[in-house]
Amino acid sequence: MTRIVAFLLISSSLVLPVAGGGRLLAADPPPFAPGSPGPGEGVVPSPLPLPETVSRGVRMVAIDPGHGGKEPGAVGKSGTLEKDLTMALANQAGRALTAAGYRVVYTREDDYFVGLRERTAIANAAGADLLVSIHANASTRADINGYETYYVSFAASDAEAQAMAKKENSSLEASRAPAGASTVTGLEAILWDMAQTEFANQSGEFAARLQKKLFAAVGGHSRGTRQAPLIVLLGARMPAVLVEAGFISNAEEELRLRNQEFAGKFARALVQAVNEVSQALMAGCAPARASTGAGAAVAAVPPAGETAREEAVRQ
């Protein structure tokens, strides 16, 4: 019920084309990224999408607290649920980012289920410049520990892309799709899955900076950065990473992940990494987010078949 109300409120005020509880913590007037010149120094923030040729820093960060609702994620030996840890870490990180002058959008605000592609769609629709998905790791071996940051450098093979398109098409044909729509949906599915490839380098750099800042802040065992076909990152129209903050299956790290001091260090490390990425983007790299182009329009929402499937799962 809360989610329906949140959806109605958001739909009427911000016109986000997604269901779910995407929450915008909008500072007013729009903030500047730390390190950027202020209004008195000749640069006026524009609410309009900037041309792709103009580099800009990070203004808004989407935070994705992993799992939620019926999906607890990994469970620690002491009964700690991953979904609770990720929410706590996300809240702390969001507060720190807001205090540092960034706008923050959450993909979920409380303990409820949100589909993976819907999470990405919330970040896309809000126009976030970066996406950080927060998770806790697990293993069958209790001694395995450490934290690691992922990014996507996964291009579906031709066979996989064809299989995906074929599946999307057949699922639509089996439902109430109008004639001719199935081909578009197959294309949408592929574009959705390919969205992150445009940002592979920036995502990799973001992951490396975050991992480095985490090591400086909390020490311990850094497992480095990794690449994997993570669904929540695939359709993101912005640099996107997923951080596994520690192993909930390791007794010591389970306790650490629940520790407020750790959450504070984690949040500060994230702010520092975002600051660095923002400065790097403004120093002349490509814009953080492609604000124009047909691909952006197509990939702003998940493929129709997917939304329908996720709706069905929720019911």
Partner 1 sequence: MRRRLLLAAALAAVVLAVLFLVLRKGPQGPVPGAGAPGTVGAADLYFADAEGRRLVIERRAISPGTAEETARAVAEELIAGPHDPALVPTLPPNAAVLAVFLQGDTAYLDFSASLSGDHPGGSWSEALTVYSIVNSIAANVPGVAQVQILLDGREGETLAGHIVLDRPLAPQMRLLDGDF
Residues that bind partner 1 (CB under 8 A): 66-67, 71, 73-75, 82, 115-116, 135-141, 144, 148, 150, 153-154, 156-157, 159-160, 163-164, 167, 223, 226-232, 234, 242, 244, 247-249, 309
Q: How far apart are CA 262 and CA 251, in angstroms?
A: 15
Closer CB to partner 1, 62 or 138, in the complex: 138
Output the smallest distance, CB 269 to partner 1, in A: 19
Report the Cα 312 to chain-centroid distance in Å. 23
Both structure tokens of 290: 């492609």
Closer CB to partner 1, 55 or 227, in the complex: 227
Closer CB to partner 1, 84 or 148, in the complex: 148
DSSP for residue 49 = P
Task: Look up residue 304 and give its amino acid.
Answer: A
Output the smallest distance, CB 67 to partner 1, in A: 6
Closer CB to partner 1, 32 or 151, in the complex: 151
Output the smallest distance, CB 29 to partner 1, in A: 38
Alpha helices (H) in 235-289, listed in sequence order? 251-257, 260-282
β-bridge partners, 65: 134
Q: How far apart are CA 284 and CA 206, in angstroms?
A: 16
Q: Give the chain's end-to-end CA distance (angstroms, integer).
A: 13
Closer CB to partner 1, 95 or 223, in the complex: 223
Closer CB to partner 1, 14 or 228, in the complex: 228
Output the smallest distance, CB 204 to partner 1, in A: 12
**What angle in degrees, to the nearest 10, is found between the helix axes of 181-194 and 304-314?**
80
174-199 core/surface letters (b: 16 or more CB in 10 A; e: else): eeebeeeebebbbebbbbbbbbbebb
Output the smallest distance, CB 163 to partner 1, in A: 5
Closer CB to partner 1, 234 or 269, in the complex: 234
Output the smallest distance, CB 48 to partner 1, in A: 35
Output the smallest distance, CB 105 to partner 1, in A: 20
Report the Cα 274 to chain-centroid distance in Å. 13
Q: Which one, of 61, 53, 35, 57, lies nearest residue 45 by Cα?
A: 57
